C-alpha cells in the first residue's frame, strides 16, 4: 500500500497511525500541500480532488478521504466496535469530526502554525466553534474513557489527530481536563508521541 500524505496534516496522520496500529505495511509518500504537491497532474490523476491523504491499496485501487481510508483499513479490527450501538457511536463521532471539529480546530491551527496568522486575528466564529467542539468533547469524555465505548476506536483516532495539537491554533486544553486525559490515553493506546 502507498500512502500519499503530508506529515503536518492530522488527516494524513490518522491514516498512518491506523496502518501502524494494525501492522499494515505501507510506503509513505510525503506530499507537501504547502508546495502544492497535491495539485500536480500526476497527483490529480490519483485523486482528482487534489487532497491528501490518498492511498493506493495493495490491489492498485485508489482511495481518498481520511475517514473512508481508516474505515477501510480497520475493517474487522478492534478499532471498529463489535457492538452495534458502539459502532454507530463511532460513526457519529467520525461524521461530527469532519463537520464540527476539523473545520475549526484544524483550520485555526493551519492559519496560526503554517500561515503565521496571530491568534488574535483569527475569525472569531472560527475560535468560537473550535471552543464549542472541545467543550462537546469535554462533556462526552467526562464520564467515558474513550468516545465510543471502553476501548480506543476510530472515533478516537480521528479526533485525537487535531485535538492533540489544538494549542498550535490558540486553543488551551488546560480548560478541558477530560480531553487532556483522553489525548494521553489515545496516544498511549496507539503508541504515538
In terms of CATH architecture, what is 84-190? Up-down Bundle (1.20)
Query: 2-74: what CATH class?
Result: alpha beta
Where do the structural domains in the chain lie, given as residue ranges? 2-74, 84-190
Distance CA 106, CA 119 (A): 13
pLDDT for 130: 98
pLDDT for 149: 87
Distance CA 138, CA 140 (A): 6
Count of C-beta atoms within a 10 Å radius of residue 88: 12
Q: What is the CA radius of gyration of the chain?
A: 16
pLDDT one digit per residue (tens) for the chain, 193 residues: 999 999 999 999 999 999 999 999 999 999 999 999 999 999 999 999 999 999 999 999 999 999 999 999 999 999 999 999 999 999 999 999 999 999 999 999 999 999 999 999 999 999 999 999 999 999 999 999 999 989 999 999 999 999 999 999 999 999 999 999 999 999 999 999 7
Amino acid at each position: 500500500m502507498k500512502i500519499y500524505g503530508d506529515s503536518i496534516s492530522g488527516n494524513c496522520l490518522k491514516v498512518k497511525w491506523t496502518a501502524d496500529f494494525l501492522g499494515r505495511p505501507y510506503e509513505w509518500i510525503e506530499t507537501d500541500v504547502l508546495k502544492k504537491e497535491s495539485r500536480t497532474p500526476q497527483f490529480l490523476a490519483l485523486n482528482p480532488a487534489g487532497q491528501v491523504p490518498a492511498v493506493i491499496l495493495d490491489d492498485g485501487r485508489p482511495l481518498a478521504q481520511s475517514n473512508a481510508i481508516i474505515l477501510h483499513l480497520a475493517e474487522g479490527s478492534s478499532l471498529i466496535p463489535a457492538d452495534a450501538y458502539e459502532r454507530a457511536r463511532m460513526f457519529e463521532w467520525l461524521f461530527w469530526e469532519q463537520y464540527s471539529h476539523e473545520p475549526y480546530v484544524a483550520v485555526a491551527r493551519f492559519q496560526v502554525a503554517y500561515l503565521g496568522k496571530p491568534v488574535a486575528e483569527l475569525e472569531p466564529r472560527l475560535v468560537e466553534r473550535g471552543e464549542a467542539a472541545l467543550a462537546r468533547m469535554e462533556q462526552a469524555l467526562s464520564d467515558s474513557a474513550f468516545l465510543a465505548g471502553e476501548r480506543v476506536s476510530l472515533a478516537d483516532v480521528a479526533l485525537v489527530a487535531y485535538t492533540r495539537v489544538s494549542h498550535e491554533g490558540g486553543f488551551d486544553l488546560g480548560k478541558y481536563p477530560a480531553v487532556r486525559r483522553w489525548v494521553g490515553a489515545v496516544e498511549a493506546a496507539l503508541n504515538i508521541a
